[in-house]
Structure 1
């Protein structure tokens, strides 16, 4: 089936935001009188939503504080750090422009809280490319559940099989597999323990412009 729409993950696929997320985590840990952790460590935690991120950080630090106690502090720091130093990956703007020229509608499906996505896209000057945004709190389910991608396809008015997901992690792969949506994976994001070359992805690409050669 021909590709009629493209659905992008955000962090690790379009935007390198790990430094800012790590700073938000570390400011939270400091507020709890806990030691900071490396950016590389936080990178390995990104992708399953903010509640799982904070849970992992608390467990790693051996803290007995509850998630509900800590989340307001983390969200304050997350908002404060959102636009601190995010960077688009190489070739993102050119790829989005090429997809728009081909008439393909695009959407974001991310586990980042939905309210934080538009300010980030606007800061990076790519907000106008996307018809819809589904965040990690837009539905009761989040990736790797199928529902976010199924809902995104519905919003785009396209069959699931005609949409192409673009992501970087096992969370994205699981969501695509569960939804029956083909996926292209990027090597440069936050794959954690995912063996990219052992997946059933349409392709694994080194830079986003390579996506244009893998549209059905």
Structure 2
């Protein structure tokens, strides 16, 4: 059962142990990397070209998990099936690709998490709905492509999360059983995908949640308030 107590100390507690796992898989945007500043930069550039007032980071954050359609809808009040949407999307994504690692960084504390994993018997990977033409330059710029045991992008398989195909492929590539994996993500679709793949799941409460999100109802095995909670868990319970 997921922890629903609002107290951070109790919410971050878990009966899970690192010895229960062979690998930890991470969602990318809003979980492993804070990509919102570069998405905002690209969106505001397009909005300026269209004489629209810029958005603040706080205004954009709840829409990041919805991808470019949600962000463009927020900025331009335009639906994906309306005339002009495709052209705006193309311009936005081209600008984002050109600035994909301008300000994006690992979330504070996440480098410590990866360090603990790499110092022990566990392996880690990335499973994201972000397309490979954006995922690959971002992870390469941050040096993560050389460290991750696998990187599965949104177009690596025929299905996006919450379908479990990408998570199951990650297990295949690493050579581990899904039941021996923990998947960490900041959206309901991440938790659902992990559950459908037969994994344990952790909801990243520090990610790009919307005001309407109710992560305590997602059914995650663990509610994480910060990367620090994951780092502490690994530091105290991972055999060396």
TM-score between both structures, scaled by the size of structure 2: 0.78
* Equivalent residue in structure 2 for 1:2, among 2, 20, 28: 20
Structure 2 counterpart of 1:198 = 217
**In 2, are the aligned partners of 1:93 and 1:126 still within 8 Å (CA)?**
no
Structure 1 counterpart of 2:174 = 156
1:68-147 correspondence runs (5 A): 68-147=86-165
Q: What is the CA–CA distance in structure 1 between the aligned matches of 2:135 and 2:60, rounded to whole Å?
A: 20
1:169 and 2:226 correspond: no
Displacement, 1:188?
Answer: 1.1
Q: What is the CA–CA distance in structure 2 between the aligned matches of 1:162 and 1:171, rounded to whole Å?
A: 20
Distance change >3 Å, CA 169–CA 148, structure 1 → 2: same
User: What is the aligned-residue RMSD (CA, Å)?
Assistant: 2.7
Distance change >3 Å, CA 62–CA 174, structure 1 → 2: closer
Specify every segment of 5 or more residues in structure 1 that has no aligned partner in the other structure, as ranges: none
Larger radius of gyration: 2
Displacement, 1:108?
Answer: 0.6
Specify every segment of 5 or more residues in structure 2 that has no aligned partner in the other structure, as ranges: 1-18
Displacement, 1:184?
Answer: 1.1
Displacement, 1:38?
Answer: 2.7
**In 2, are the aligned partners of 1:51 and 1:71 still within 8 Å (CA)?**
yes
Bigger mean CA offset, 180-189 vs 30-39: 30-39
Bigger mean CA offset, 130-139 vs 59-68: 59-68
Q: What is the CA–CA distance in structure 1 between the aligned matches of 2:75 and 2:189, rounded to whole Å?
A: 18
Displacement, 1:62?
Answer: 10
Displacement, 1:69?
Answer: 2.5
Structure 2 counterpart of 1:210 = 229
Displacement, 1:186?
Answer: 1.9
Displacement, 1:9?
Answer: 0.7
Distance change >3 Å, CA 61–CA 116, structure 1 → 2: closer
Bigger mean CA offset, 16-25 vs 205-214: 205-214
**In 1, are the aligned partners of 2:35 and 2:103 still within 8 Å (CA)?**
yes
**In 1, are the aligned partners of 2:61 and 2:209 still within 8 Å (CA)?**
no
SS of residue in 2 equivalent to 1:106: strand
**In 2, are the aligned partners of 1:50 and 1:112 still within 8 Å (CA)?**
no
